[in-house]
Structure 1
Amino acid sequence: MEEHLPWDTDGLLPLERQLHEAARRNDIGRMKELIRRRVNVRARNHVDRVALHWAAGAGHEQAVRLLLEHEAAVDDEDAFGMNAILLSAWFGHLRILQILVNSGAKIHCENKPKKATCRCWRS
C-alpha cells in the first residue's frame, strides 16, 4: 500500500513547495535561489496558505522581509481567514506584527471559524 505524504495533495508545484518549506525554516539562501528562479511567492497550497503565512507564524523576520520585498501580498488570507498578521499575533511575534503593519497590513481583521480579532496599532 502506498503511503500518502501531506505534500502529495497540497496543490503546489515542486519549487513552490520548496519555497513554502524554506520560509517555514527561515532558509533565506534557498528562498533567494527560488525567487531568482522566478518561483511564485504568492503560490497557495490546498488551504490557501502562502509562504508569508509560514514565515510570519514562525516569527522569521528575515523571511518575512524577503517575501515582502518580492511582492508577497501582506493581507492574503488562507481558507480559515488567517492572514500573516493574525498568525504572527497568535504566536506572539511582536516584531513580525510591526513589520507587517509598517508594510501596510490591515490592522482590523478576524479569522473565519472563531471570529478571533486582532487590533494592532502603529507605533
Structure 2
Amino acid sequence: MTELHQAAAAGHYDELEELLREQRCDPNQRDVDWSHKTALHWAAAKGHTESVRILLEHGARPCLRTVNGWTPAHYAAESGHLVVLRLLHSLHAPVDKEDFSGDKPARIAEIYGHHDCVVFLKKAEIEAQAYREMAAQRGISIDETDEEWEQRRTENEENKISNIQT
C-alpha cells in the first residue's frame, strides 16, 4: 500500500492534499497487493468524503475497477456511505456499473442492508443513464470505462471459451 493509499484509507486529508499537490503520487495508481484498489476505492470504502473530493479534484478516475470489477461506488455501497455515493453521482461518476458477478452498487447495498443507499442508487441509475444519453447526443465525453479492466475481462472470457472448447 502506497503512502497515498494509506492517507486516503485513514482520512488524512491534509497529507493527501499535499501528496497530490506536489505530484508525488499518481491518484490512479492501483495497489496490486490489494485487488488493484486505487486511493479513491479506499476513501470511498472508508466513507472519507473529503478524501474522495480531493482525489477527484486531482484527477482520480472514479471508473477504475478492482480485479473483481468494483468501482468506488461499490465500496461506498457496501459500507453504506450515502454521502460518498451522492458526491460520486453528483460528479457523474459511474454508480451503476456491473462487477464480474453482474452486481451493481445498488445490489451490493441491498445485500448489506443499506436501504437508504439502495433507494438513492436506484434513482441515480436512471439519472446516470439519462445523463449518458444526453452526453452522447451533445458529443460530451464521459470517462466511465476502465480500459485495463475491460481488457482483463475480455481475456478471461476468451480463456473460458477456449477451455470449454478443449
- TM-score by structure 2 length? 0.60
Q: 2:30 aligns with which of 22, 37, 44?
A: 44
Decide whether the 8 Å contact of 1:88 with 1:96 is kept in 2.
yes
Aligned length: 107
- Measure, in 1, the Cα distance between the counterparts of 2:60 and 2:104: 22
Structure 1 residue 48: deviation in Å? 1.7
- Measure, in 1, the Cα distance between the counterparts of 2:46 and 2:19: 20
- Measure, in 2, the Cα distance between the counterparts of 1:107 and 1:55: 15
Could you say what the CA RMSD is over the residues aligned between the two structures, in angstroms?
1.5
Query: Structure 1 stretches (4+) deviating beyond 4 angstroms?
Result: none
- Measure, in 2, the Cα distance between the counterparts of 1:95 and 1:31: 20
2:105 match: 118
- Measure, in 2, the Cα distance between the counterparts of 1:20 and 1:107: 21
- Measure, in 2, the Cα distance between the counterparts of 1:67 and 1:107: 17
Q: Deviations over 1:47-87 (max 9, x none)?
A: 22100000000000110000011111011101110110111
- Measure, in 1, the Cα distance between the counterparts of 2:16 and 2:95: 27
* Bigger relative contact order, structure 1 or 2 (CA pairs below 8 A, ≥6 apart): 1
1:25 match: 10
Aligned AA for 1:34?
L
Unaligned runs of 5+ in 2: 107-120, 128-166
Q: 2:47 aligns with which of 59, 64, 73?
A: 59
The secondary structure found in structure 2 opposite 1:108 is coil
Structure with bigger gyration radius: 2
Q: Deviations over 1:13-68 (max 9, x none)?
A: xxxx0000000000011111111220111111112210000000000011000001
Structure 1 residue 115: deviation in Å? 2.9
Unaligned runs of 5+ in 1: 1-6, 8-16
Structure 1 residue 117: deviation in Å? 2.1
